[in-house]
Amino acid sequence: MLMKTDAAMKPADTDEGTPVSVKIRERLNAARHRFNANDNIADFLEPGELEQLLDEVEVKMQGVLDSLVIDTERDHNTGDTARRVAKMYLNEVFKGRYVRAPSITEFPNAEHLNELMIVGPITVRSACSHHFCPVIGKIWIGVMPNEHTNVIGLSKYARLAEWVMGRPQIQEEAVVQLADLIMEKTQPDGLAIVMQASHYCMAWRGVKDMDSKMINSVMRGVFLKDPALRREFLALIPQKD
């Protein structure tokens, strides 16, 4: 029986049995690309690897259930929990880490619009990076366009927000990420974002305060420089709950 020489071995042969997460991590490290919880890593996934990653997370999640001393073999409620949790993380609540940004059609500002436009409230759902507990809230976006601003559809603001929030996030960082993305896509004179959210790491655990909410804002361009415009934006936002 002939044995393969090292020179004849294909690259796939050399890493057979290596977890797909390790392969992805090696690519990220080689490119010196950050992969924090709220980073997108879609450019470093090869075809079919997301499905392999789902299988790997399922196995690891089953280990968590075993360590929690849950009899998933006999408990009819948790028999498929490991698979369901893996699918939830990769295909739903943290999808923003593993897929590319939504396609956004941009149009020139043909009518040279230069008046304040506000979009919201946009319902957003995320999870805190500290405990993976839900963060659920609303976002208001104010845009001050200029004649060179790219115009995008109103629904596209919601799609961009969903993509950014679909990762383990810290609210303050999430709003900055969204502001950077919208500024890059539209190039307005100014951008304002306000987010109000309930954090279940505070409501479900810890102090278990169900009524507390966090509100934060990011102001860019003329919203940062013009107090009157900033007041107008804040005054036009409907009364928050």
| Contact status, residue 96 vs residue 166, Cβ threshold 8 Å | yes
pLDDT for 72-107, tens place per residue? 999 999 999 999 999 999 999 999 999 999 988 766
For residue 39, CA distances in Å to 15, 112, 166 come to 26, 35, 10
What's the CA gap between 161 and 139, in Å, rounded?
8
Let me know how many helices (H) and strands (E) the chain has, helices first: 9, 7
pLDDT for 6-45, tens place per residue? 444 444 445 678 999 999 999 999 999 999 999 999 999 9
